[in-house]
Amino acid sequence: MSIANLRKDYQLASLSETDVAADPIEQFAHWFEQALKADAAEANAMSLATVNAEGRPSSRIVLIKEFNQNGFSWFTNYDSSKGHDLAANPHAALLFFWSALERQVRIEGRIEKVSEQDNDSYFHSRPLGSRRSACASQQSQPIANRDLLEQRLDEVTSEHGDHPPRPQHWGGYRLVPDRLEFWQGRSSRLHDRIVYTRGSDGLWTITRLQP
């Protein structure tokens, strides 16, 4: 079969302006809960798109760790490629895709770092192996081979045992949204698209977009 002929006709649900919550975070929470109940694969996974100082875009999958009225948060190495991008251009876009529900959510906004207290709290809640790896890896930097990486992990284990400290270059980011789009697949590509846009007064406007 030709790749051009690969397609799926979406028929599971619909989305109307009269159905959605007035607040987009409340609407996201509703959809996220439904994704969890549907056992959607990696429901907490999102694509994070950044742009570097030269205007070159880049994207990767990260895991959301918290969302609330303040925004959407995740953790990483501040010295990674995405960290450098966000230092140069503190704006980003997130994308959740829940194929089991034929839905996606697109989120755009400005970036801020979470507090040092939040960094420490989350870091020490991680599994021991993940904490050791955060100390051992210089994320996004070249390394000659896997053996050297595992050697560095052994050094961290030997030095810190079961209590590796949080590296100062490791922490969280929060995307403070000003635009969220809720996309529900519909038959014949006539998809439902409901967008929330935050005004200068902080209030949200709801608009339907054509597919």
Question: Which pLDDT tens digit goes with each residue over 163-196?
Answer: 999 999 999 999 999 999 999 999 999 999 999 9
Which range is least confidently modeled, 49-63, 101-115, 135-149, 185-199?
A: 135-149
105 is in an annotated binding site: no
Tokens of 168: 């100062």
Q: With respect to residue 144, please indicate whether it lies within any of the assigned structural domains.
A: no
Question: Tens of pLDDT along 114-158?
Answer: 999 999 999 999 999 999 999 999 988 999 999 999 999 999 999
pLDDT given for residue 1 in this prediction:
75
Give the whole-number percent of the chain exceeding pLDDT 70: 100
Contact (CB, 8 A) for 175 and 109: yes
Q: With respect to residue 78, please indicate whether it lies within any of the assigned structural domains.
A: yes
50 is in an annotated binding site: no
Can you tell me the mean pLDDT for 72-101? 97
pLDDT band at 70 (very low <50, low <70, confident <90, very high): very high
The range of the structural domain enclosing residue 54 comes to 8-125+168-208
In the numeric block, the tokens 């034929």 are attached to 102
75 is in an annotated binding site: yes
34 is in an annotated binding site: no
Mean pLDDT of the chain: 96
pLDDT given for residue 140 in this prediction:
87
Q: With respect to residue 80, please indicate whether it lies within any of the assigned structural domains.
A: yes
User: Considering 146, 189, 198, 208, which one is annotated as catalytic?
Assistant: 189
pLDDT given for residue 62 in this prediction:
98
Q: Kindly tell me the number of DSSP H helices and DSSP E strands found in the chain.
A: 5, 9
Tokens of 80: 């990674």
122 is in an annotated binding site: yes
Active site residue 198: no
pLDDT given for residue 166 in this prediction:
96
Dist CA 182 CA 15 (whole Å) = 9
Q: With respect to residue 73, please indicate whether it lies within any of the assigned structural domains.
A: yes
Q: With respect to residue 182, please indicate whether it lies within any of the assigned structural domains.
A: yes
Tokens of 20: 């959605």
157 is in an annotated binding site: no
Q: With respect to residue 24, please indicate whether it lies within any of the assigned structural domains.
A: yes
39 is in an annotated binding site: no
Q: Which CATH number covers residue 18? A: 2.30.110.10
- Measured N-to-C along each axis, helices 146-160 and 128-136 cross at an angle, to the nearest 10 degrees, of 120
Contact (CB, 8 A) for 24 and 204: yes
140 is in an annotated binding site: yes
Q: With respect to residue 142, please indicate whether it lies within any of the assigned structural domains.
A: no
Can you tell me the mean pLDDT for 88-110? 98
Q: With respect to residue 185, please indicate whether it lies within any of the assigned structural domains.
A: yes
pLDDT given for residue 96 in this prediction:
98
How many domains does one find in the chain?
1
